[in-house]
Amino acid sequence: MKLYGLPGACSLVDHIALNWTGKPFEYEAVARDKMKVAPFVEISPLGAVPVLEDDGVVLTQNIAILEYLAEKNPEAKLLGGDTALARAEGRRWLGFLNSDLHKTFSLVFGPARWVEGEAAQASLTANASERVKDMFAIANGRLQGREWLSECRSVADAYLFVTMRWAAAKKIDLSQMANLQKHFARMQADPAVTKALQAEGFI
């Protein structure tokens, strides 16, 4: 099994999940300037990470990869538990983080792709950053009185951790959201998370 990723990008979620499975895999970092050209674009038509290769199968899209890893490794409880409800909660928060929060972050990271002009881009970034904070507040509320987004640790928790790293990089202040801060500390203390961060050059 091989994971292609960009250090610190959303592919870090898959990297953490693979470490949680305890199964062997290879990680290959793809430089940003190599993502939109051959040979990488031949396995990822959008020129994006993550990409997972497994026994001749090539998967793109984070949700598909994370679901695949969960299906192949049920003992790892990657979707947040043993019950249908626990797994549904894991999927619910994974969808929220992937489809809503991550999508809004794209406006923060690349406003020039959406609007022209420095003032318009600055305004878009500011508005998107506030929307990002609103979404983090929802996750903070979910974590009141609990350690994880679902019944137990899941790939949704890994996604939340990665997006909180993005918030720090973009100076989006989440310091007043105590539940998120405790969650981030729990994730940082996880050996699988440490291993992924080391492999991607952050430690």
Q: What does the domain layout of the chain look like in residue ranges?
A: 2-77+193-199, 84-190
The label of the residue with tokens 């610190």 reads: 8
Whether CATH 1.10.287.130 fits 2-77+193-199: no
DSSP state of 172: -
Q: How does strand 2-5 pair with strand 51-54?
A: antiparallel
Residue type, 5: G
Each residue's pLDDT, cut to its tens digit, for the chain (203 residues) gives 999 999 999 999 999 999 999 999 999 999 999 999 999 999 999 999 999 999 999 999 999 999 999 999 999 999 999 999 999 999 999 999 999 999 999 999 988 888 889 898 889 999 999 999 999 999 999 999 999 999 999 999 999 999 999 999 999 999 999 999 999 999 999 999 999 999 999 98
- The yes-or-no answer to whether 2-77+193-199 and 84-190 have a common fold is no
| Of 94, 22, 80, 18, nearest in space to 54 by CA | 18
C-alpha of 82 from chain center:
22
CA distance 95 to 160: 11
* Model pLDDT, residue 187: 98
Classify domain 84-190 at the CATH class level. mainly alpha
C-alpha of 148 from chain center:
15
pTM over 0.85: yes
* Model pLDDT, residue 114: 82
Q: How does strand 2-5 pair with strand 26-29?
A: parallel
